[in-house]
């Protein structure tokens, strides 16, 4: 069964816009779990424009499902992850000032760097995942680093899906088959929504986890958080 991990960054963005603690990031995370989410994802950036490091420390002991921390592995990020020890760390190649993730790792070029990180996190008992595109060689290099999983960067799929679903999903199915043949776990995320999630899951039913934030929080403005999580989980059945 594919797990739904809710990325709560946008909740923190809304809170930070006015200061104070409304909405309460911790309460929303616990409500997401109560409404059926099987995980919570956060992406603490260096400028703390949404999730703050203090949020990460507060969330870890409270989360009863899976806690996934994603981000660029700066020394500050590495230290945070090793102190908090989430269930999973997802490494993304974001620049510090980047608005949002827009590419997967070049795992061939950064092979030594990533391999050392996989060993560091694995020794701490943290499951590892590397954010990648659908390039088969780069997926093979991700496997060679010792990563437990890869997370497929799905924005290209989401962009093409309204025009041509079959063409949009094709490279992701081939990438997913390769990941499975390499004995790795498979996650997916970025721009997945109620419009395109079911089709992806129908074609790649062995997905371990999808991480969804922006679209899910936008839908919740209309449907409410509980109903929205229910609708996303329907797509994964």
d(CA 206, CA 116): 28
C-alpha 4/C-alpha 103 separation (Å) is 22
- Active site amino acids: 43, 70, 190
Judge whether 42 and 84 are in contact, CB under 8 Å: no
Please give the distance of CA 182 from its chain centroid, rounded to a whole number: 21
pTM: 0.94
In degrees and rounded to multiples of 5, residue 186 shows phi and psi of -135, 120
| Residue that is written with structure tokens 């006015």 in the block | 18
Q: In tens digits, what is the pLDDT along the chain, a chain of 237 residues? A: 999 999 999 999 999 999 899 999 999 999 999 999 999 999 999 999 999 999 999 999 999 999 999 999 999 999 999 999 999 999 999 766 655 556 789 999 999 999 999 999 999 999 999 999 999 999 999 999 999 999 999 999 999 999 999 999 999 999 999 999 999 999 999 999 999 999 999 999 999 999 999 999 999 999 999 999 999 999 999
């Amino acid at each position: 069964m594919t797990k739904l991990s809710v990325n709560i960054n946008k909740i923190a963005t809304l809170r930070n816009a006015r200061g104070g603690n409304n909405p309460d990031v911790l309460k929303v995370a616990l409500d997401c779990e109560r409404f059926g989410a099987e995980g919570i994802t956060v992406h603490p950036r260096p400028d703390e424009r949404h999730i703050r490091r203090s949020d990460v420390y507060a969330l870890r002991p409270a989360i009863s499902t899976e806690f996934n921390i994603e981000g660029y592995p700066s020394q500050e990020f590495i230290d945070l992850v090793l102190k908090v020890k989430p269930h999973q760390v997802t490494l993304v190649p974001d620049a510090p000032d980047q608005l949002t993730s827009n590419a997967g790792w070049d795992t061939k070029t950064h092979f030594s760097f990533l391999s050392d990180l996989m060993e560091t996190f694995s020794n701490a008992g943290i499951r590892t995942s590397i954010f990648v595109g659908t390039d088969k060689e780069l997926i093979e290099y991700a496997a060679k680093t010792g990563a437990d999983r890869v997370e497929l960067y799905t924005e290209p799929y989401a962009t093409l899906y309204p025009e041509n679903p079959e063409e949009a999903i094709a490279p992701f199915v081939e990438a997913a088959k390769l990941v499975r043949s390499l004995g790795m776990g498979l996650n997916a995320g970025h721009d997945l929504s109620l419009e395109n999630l079911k089709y992806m899951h129908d074609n790649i039913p062995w997905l371990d986890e999808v991480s969804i934030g922006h679209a899910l929080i936008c839908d919740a403005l209309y449907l409410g958080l509980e109903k929205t999580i229910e609708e996303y989980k329907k797509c994964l059945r």
